[in-house]
Amino acid sequence: MTASEATLLRTAAELVACTPGAHPEGDPAAPAGTPTPGAGRAVVMTMGALHEGHASLIQTARAVIGPAGQVVVTVFVNPLQFGEAADLDRYPRTLDADLAVAGAAGADVVFAPSVDEVYPGGEPQVRISAGPMGERLEGASRPGHFDGMLTVVAKLLHLTRPDVAFFGQKDAQQLALIRRMVRDLNFPVEIVGVETVREPDGLALSSRNRFLDPHERHTALALSRALFAARDRLAAQQALHARAQTAGATEGRAAGLTRLGEARLAADAQAVARARPDGGPAAVRAAARAILDDAEAEQPPLALDYVALVDPADFTEIPDDRTAGDAILAVAARVGTTRLIDNIPLTFGATA
């Protein structure tokens, strides 16, 4: 840790003391890094092991809050989010490297509290419940995970007192629950989701990627390929429907082309005529599932946990007759001993 990196670290008391706008500009008593009067504070919450995805969050926070604002990065491995002690022990702790990444990305402050500082006296007796949404998908696979996540997010929001907080869309269900908690419990903070950052081969950036050997990584690419295949299937279906609306394609035209021996044109006309206006949620699911099914036969195999097309508001399943609106296609699977998640936003009823 360099001297400049060490100066990023702050305690909870120091964070309160340097609340944006609390000190007049140039006040010699103001802690280092204190922003100018009236400037806001942004927070990026992490569990450490920072990578380019986290850097993107910090850079976005800096761009939004502006040069006069303050960007706080929290680094805390939350024990309430881990179902097994082995998983908690295995989670990487790389604070020195995290300070370097945070500083380079534009952070003013890193808040890296101990477990005793966040949970004085042991695990909290009162926690925030994630409710029904927290029992679906990730919540079903990891009971209690979202209760622990929301509890620590609430505590860190109180400790850091931000005006705006940034979270990655890769953890889409987490983001949705945080937004719901902030709305339901009247937290005075704006929540901003930041697009998933991917490696060149498509794999969503995650601290867990480091646990994959080359063969496991090859298998893990099925997650992003399945999502992209589903997205492409939806786009193709909606493009066909748009053509049908403008060209007036009918089954009769397809039959006529067949009688004339124009097999390829007939097949195209038939596809256009049968295109559904919503792109077909069932077709989207099938496109993703085909890729994932193949990956289950790879060596090493993909052990699928779930693939689900859900409403981003409450993470309930999208019905097959959905004709319009936003959705999230989410997938979770284990490759070897590493569990990975990924998702992609989709919009039904859109036209190119």
Q: Which residues are catalytic?
A: 54
DSSP-derived secondary structure for 102-128: HHHHT-SEEE---HHHHSTTSS-SS--
Task: Name the residue type at position 229.
Answer: A
Vertex 28: Cα angle to 26 and 29 (nearest 5): 120
Question: To 10 degrees, what angle do helices 95-105 and 52-65 make?
Answer: 40
How many other C-beta atoms lie within 10 A of the C-beta of residue 113? 18
The identity of residue 279, as a single letter, is: G
* Under 8 Å between Cβ of 93 and 77: yes
DSSP 8-class letter at 202: S
Consecutive H or E run containing 73? strand 70-75
Length of the chain: 352
Report the C-alpha gap between 145 and 127 in whole angstroms.
12
Residue 268: other Cβ atoms inside 10 A = 16
Q: Number of helices (H) and strands (E) in the chain: give both, helices first.
A: 13, 8
